[in-house]
Amino acid sequence: MFTVSLIASPAAANLDADLPGGLAAQWGGDDPRWLAPGIAAEFDIATAPDDADQVWSDLQTIGIDLAIQPLGGRRKRILIADMDSTMIGQECIDELADMAGFGPRVAAITARAMNGELDFDQALTERVALLRDLPEAVIAQVLAERITMAPGGAQLVATMRAHGAYTALVSGGFTAFTQAVAAHLGFDEHRANTLLAQDGRLTGHVALPILGREAKVDALTQIAARLGTTPQNAIAVGDGANDLGMIQLAGAGVALHAKPTVAAQAQIRINHGDLTALLYLQGYGQDDFVTPPAP
């Protein structure tokens, strides 16, 4: 048995009331269950349909995401999430580089690295070198003035934790940012690279070894083992090439508003929904959502 999820952007709420029922009838499925009016619905089917890719493409044209997962074990015990352009709306290194006067140059390298066109370690080393002599205090300024939380992130973390899940923020970015973002959103732990500084200024280096694609896979494996479970019991979310390892290892791997080469290799693609889509994918309804108090 499989569960079919249909998810729209909460801002658009354009999931037509007749669409889930019509698709369920086409695929011989059960009656749809509405998780949020106009936003998310699901139904069960006995076998995966042959025309799923074509239906997915058709639905993309009207702003609807489609995912098909095995019926059992959808609610996960672990959330492992990327930070930049996933849990927040920015790439922190691009914002720092902009403050240093190298914004467009670094942003171009970041885009290529996240699309898998460049070696991650090499690209990070090259970009961080351009931050040399930037005052360390700029980090706090970027956090205060430029970093925004991605829609649905606070509800995702709070709801999963309320239902017993362990949450980890694992980034190829920097601990100076993951520490603040993890605390703001309520993650249980965070892992990232450490920007090195001396006498109040960045040195242009990060502490070794660099946390990249394999380190994210290792984090998922280690956390699962520590909790006495397996990566199959995790939902992972990211948007860049260095997220692919953990996305493909997790029981539910989600490419969220991802780079094309990343989305093409992911189990689940969410191009229109926000981070609450990860709750709908697990069968949580809007009434189950937990919204944490404002910090």
Residue of 51, 58, 65, 84 with catalytic role: 84
Is 82 considered catalytic here? Answer: yes
Residue of 82, 121, 243, 274 with catalytic role: 82
Encoding tokens for residue 20? 């889930």
In DSSP terms, 7 is beta-bridged to 40, 65
Is 199 considered catalytic here? Answer: no
Catalytic residues: 82, 84
